[in-house]
Amino acid sequence: MQNTVNQSIMPVTAKINENGVLEIGGCNVVELAEKYGTPLYVYDEDTLRASCRQYKQAFSPYENVSVLFASKAFMTQTICAILKEEGLGLDVVSGGEIFTASSANFPMERCYFNGNNKSSEELELALETGVGRITVDNFFELELLDSIAKSKDKYVNILLRITPGIECHTHEYIQTGHLDSKFGFDLSQLDEAIELIQERFSNLTLVGLHAHIGSQIFETQVYSDLVAIVSEQFAKIHDKFGIMLEEMNLGGGLGVQYTSADDPPSIFAISEVILNALRENLVKYNLPDPKIIIEPGRSIVCNAGVTLYAVGSSKQVPEGKKYIAVDGGMADNPRPSMYQAKYDALVANKANQKPEETVTIAGRYCESGDILINDIELPETEPGDIICIFSTGAYNYSMSSNYNRIPKPAAIIVQNAQSDVIIKRETYQDLILHDVIPERLMCPLGDGHPLS
C-alpha cells in the first residue's frame, strides 16, 4: 500500500546537498535562518499539497466525500489560500478561525463550525459569513443557536456531535470520543435533542451526526467501530423520527510520524477501513449513501513543517547530561512539556556528519521543564549551529505564547527554491501593543499621589 506524507518525519522535498547542508523546498535552511532569523517555522508547500491530494485520492472510491482541514492545527490566510486551491474545506472552532477564513476569501459554505462552548458573537459571525454547517455540541447551544437564527430570520443546517464511547490508545488529553468527555451529546441524550429540534427549534434543520474519537491515532479498527456506531444511530433516528440523515462526519485523528519509533497507518489504510465499514453498515441497516466528512488536521500539516533554532550556550553536568540551549523552546513548541511529545532533529549545517555525543536540547525559557528533546545523538555542536526539529507543522504555532515576554517567531513557506513570509516575526513593539497604563498611574511623582 502506498506510503503517505504522515508516515515520514521529513518534508517530501528535504535533502542534504553536496555541502552537507539540509535543504527543504529547494532552499538551504541555513540561509533561511540567516535571512529570516531564528527561531523560524518553515513549511514545505509541496508536502502540504501532497497530503491534501493523498486524502482526496484515498477517499475517491466513494462518490460523496468532503475533506475538511482541522484548522486548529495551523491557521493562516496562506493556508486557507492553498486549501481553497486544493478543494478542501475547513473545520473551524472559533470566531478567529472563521474571520481568518473569511478574510482570505475562502468559500465559507465549505466550513463546518465545531466547538463545545461557542459564544453568541461567534455564532452570529458564522451566520453572517455563511458558514456551511454548525455542529451543535450541547443543549445550551441548541437553544442559543435557534434564538440567534430566529432573530436574523435565518435557517441553519446542523449536525449533532455525539460521544460514541470509543477510547483510543493515545494521550488522555487528546482523547475526545470516550463517554466521560467535555465534547458532544451522550447517545442516551440524542432522542431528547432531536425532539427539541422537531418541537421547539424550528430554525434548525438536522442533517447529520458528528463523532471524533481523538488525535494521534495509530489504530485502524477504531475507525471501523466508529462507522458502525454512527450508522446504527442513523438507522435508529430514521426508525423513530422519520429523519433520514444525509451527513456522517467521522472526524480526524490519524497519527503522524514524529520519530522513527512511530509507525502510523497510511491515509490509504484508514480510508480502506472506513469505506469498507461504511459499505457493510449501509447494507446492514438499509441506509442510502450519506455524505462522508473527514477532518484531518495534524496528518495534513504536521510533517510539512520544521522549526529552525540557533544553538547558544551549552552545559555539561559533571557525571551527567550535556545540555545545548537554543533560542526558542516551550513558548514556540509547548507540546513536549504538555504531552511529553518526542521529536527528531539534526544539525542542519552538519547534516551529513555522524553523531558524536548524546545531548539534551534545552529551550531558553525560565522553566526547568523547558526541554525540546531529551537524549538525542548529534554531531558536536557549537554556538551558531542551526538545529532543525522535524514534524513541527501542527499545533506548534497554534499553541505558541509570549511567555517571558518573548516575541513569537516568523513562519515562511518554501517551494521551488523560493521562500515567502506567511507570518511576520513579532517585535518588542508588538508585545506592548495592547498594554494600557491607567491614567491614575501616569501622575508625576512628588505631587501628593499615593505612589510618590
Q: Are 27 and 57 within one domain? A: no
The pLDDT assigned to 368 comes to 93
User: For position 88, which CATH number holds?
Assistant: 3.20.20.10
Range of the domain at 12: 1-43+305-452
The pLDDT assigned to 172 comes to 38
Q: Are 164 and 56 within one domain? A: yes
Q: Are 297 and 310 within one domain? A: no
**Mean pLDDT per 10-residue segment, the chain (452 residues):** 93 97 98 98 98 98 97 98 98 98 98 96 98 97 98 98 71 42 88 97 98 91 94 97 98 96 97 97 98 98 98 94 97 95 98 96 96 97 98 98 98 98 98 95 63 48
Among candidate residues 302, 328, 359, the one where a domain is terminated: 302
User: For position 352, which CATH number holds?
Assistant: 2.40.37.10
Q: Are 113 and 214 within one domain? A: yes
Q: Are 5 and 77 within one domain? A: no
Q: Are 388 and 257 within one domain? A: no
The active-site residue, picked from 80, 366, 388, 443, is 366
Among candidate residues 258, 274, 302, the one where a domain is terminated: 302
Q: Tell me the pLDDT tens digit for each residue of 200-240.
A: 999 999 999 999 988 899 999 999 999 999 999 999 999 99
In the 3-class helix/strand/coil scheme, how is the chain assigned residue by residue? Answer: CCCCHHHCCCCCCCEECCCCCEEECCEEHHHHHHHHCCCEEEEEHHHHHHHHHHHHHHCCCCCCEEEEEEHHHCCCHHHHHHHHHHCCEEEECCHHHHHHHHHCCCCHHHEEECCCCCCHHHHHHHHHHCCCEEEECCHHHHHHHHHHHHHCCCCEEEEEEEECCCCCCCCHHHCCCCCCCCCCEEHHHHHHHHHHHHHCCCCEEEEEEECCCCCCECCCHHHHHHHHHHHHHHHHHHHHHCCCCCEEECCCCECCCCCCCCCCCCHHHHHHHHHHHHHHHHHHCCCCCCEEEECCCHHHHHHHEEEEEEEEEEEECCCCCEEEEECCCCCCCCHHHHHCCCCCEEEHHHCCCCCCEEEEEECCCCCCCCEEEEEEEECCCCCCCEEEEECCCCCCCCCCCCHHHCCCCEEEEEECCEEEEEECCCCHHHHCCCCCCCHHHCCCCCCCCCCC
Among candidate residues 268, 286, 302, the one where a domain is terminated: 302
The pLDDT assigned to 214 comes to 85
Q: Are 188 and 88 within one domain? A: yes
Catalytic status, residue 27:
no
Q: Are 221 and 280 within one domain? A: yes
Task: Give how many domains the chain has, as a whole number.
Answer: 2
Q: Are 20 and 64 within one domain? A: no
The pLDDT assigned to 452 comes to 46
Q: Are 126 and 235 within one domain? A: yes
Q: Are 362 and 279 within one domain? A: no
Q: Are 37 and 48 within one domain? A: no
